[in-house]
């Protein structure tokens, strides 16, 4: 029997409860979900956490989720999909504003590897407005973000931003 493997790619800098919610929703649908932490980011993004730190936080968060695995990747996503023997990309949509970019990426990926499908999932409403950037900014300005991130992430933010 062939396993259906889905990849949930992202920078996860840091991983939020919205990301966790999407990964766990996907894990109810697919045999295996790989939370794929991108080591290469666009020039406009300057990660706060190293790829190793982001992977370690995600591994700790998902340690009890039997069919969620965390891996780093630094290649083109469709190339990583082939290496991982996966054929479904999971992407989270928070708002209509996310759709245009995600639609373009899904179209590009489908053109590069037609056998790969993209599935869009929405997070729980209580997380639908949060992003990693917003979390970092609010935390920098001493906002209480504890409802939107795992305690492991909060410890990491304290060490990086409040030392």
Report the C-alpha gap between 50 and 52 in whole angstroms. Answer: 5
Give 122-142 as a DSSP string: ---GGGTT--HHHHHHHHHTT
Residue positions in the annotated binding site for substrate?
Answer: 11, 45, 77, 91
- Choosing from 45, 79, 126, 140, the catalytic residue is 45
Active site residue 160: no
Report the C-alpha gap between 60 and 46 in whole angstroms. Answer: 23
Residue positions in the annotated binding site?
Answer: 11-12, 19, 45, 77, 91-94, 102, 127-133
Terminal CA-CA length for the chain: 50
- Choosing from 24, 25, 82, 94, the catalytic residue is 94
Active site residue 94: yes
Active site residue 45: yes
Active site residue 124: no
- Choosing from 54, 132, 136, 150, the catalytic residue is 132
Range 114-139 burial, b when 16+ CB lie within 10 A, else e: eebebeeebbeeebeebbbeebbeeb
Report the C-alpha gap between 11 and 72 in whole angstroms. Answer: 10
- List active site positions: 19, 45, 94, 132
């Amino acid at each position: 029997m062939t396993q259906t493997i889905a990849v949930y790619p992202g920078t996860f800098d840091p991983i939020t409860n919205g990301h966790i919610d999407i990964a766990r929703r996907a894990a109810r649908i697919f045999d295996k979900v790989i939370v794929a932490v991108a080591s290469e980011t666009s020039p406009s993004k300057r990660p706060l956490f190293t790829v190793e730190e982001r992977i370690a936080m995600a591994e700790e968060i998902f340690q009890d989720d039997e069919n969620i695995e965390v891996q780093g990747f630094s290649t083109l996503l469709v190339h990583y999909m082939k290496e991982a023997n996966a054929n479904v990309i999971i992407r989270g949509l928070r708002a209509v504003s996310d759709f245009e970019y995600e639609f373009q990426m899904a179209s590009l990926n489908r053109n590069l590897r037609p056998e790969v499908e993209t599935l869009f999932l929405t997070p729980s409403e209580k997380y639908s407005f949060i992003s990693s950037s917003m979390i970092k900014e609010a935390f920098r300005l001493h906002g209480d973000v504890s409802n939107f991130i795992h305690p492991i992430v909060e410890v990491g933010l304290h060490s990086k931003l409040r030392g």
